[in-house]
Amino acid sequence: MKNYILECCVDSFESAMEAQKGGADRIELCSALVIGGLSPSPSLFKRIKKELGIRTHVLLRPRFGDFCYTEHEHEIIKEEIKIFRDLGADGVVIGSLKPDGSLDMVQMRELMQEAKGMSVTLHRAFDMCKDPFFTLEQAKELGINTILTSGQKNHCIDGSELLARLVEKAKGQVDILIGAGVDAAVIEKLYEKTKSTCYHMSGKITLDSRMEYRKEDVSMGVASMDEYEIWRTSAEKIAQAKAVLENIEI
In angstroms, the CA 28 to CA 10 distance is 6
Given a contact cutoff of 8 angstroms between Cβ atoms, the answer to whether 155 and 126 are in contact is: no
Average pLDDT, the chain: 95
| Burial of 98 from C-beta contacts in 10 A (0-12 / 13-18 / 19+) | middle
pLDDT in tens, 77-114: 999 999 999 999 999 999 999 999 999 999 999 999 99
In angstroms, the CA 179 to CA 200 distance is 5
In angstroms, the CA 55 to CA 177 distance is 16
Q: Which regions of the chain does DSSP assign to beta strands (E)? A: 5-10, 26-29, 56-59, 91-94, 119-122, 146-149, 175-178, 198-201, 204-208, 229-233
What pLDDT does residue 207 have?
95
In angstroms, the CA 246 to CA 36 distance is 28
Given a contact cutoff of 8 angstroms between Cβ atoms, the answer to whether 245 and 7 are in contact is: no
pLDDT in tens, 204-237: 999 999 999 988 877 776 666 778 889 999 999 9
Range 42-63 average pLDDT: 97
**pTM, full prediction:** 0.94
Strand partners, 208: 229
Please list the alpha-helical segments (H only) found in 7-154: 13-22, 42-51, 71-87, 105-114, 132-142
In angstroms, the CA 143 to CA 151 distance is 21
pLDDT in tens, 117-169: 999 999 999 999 999 999 999 999 999 999 999 999 999 999 999 999 999 99
**Helix then strand then coil, % of the chain, to nearest 5:** 40, 20, 40
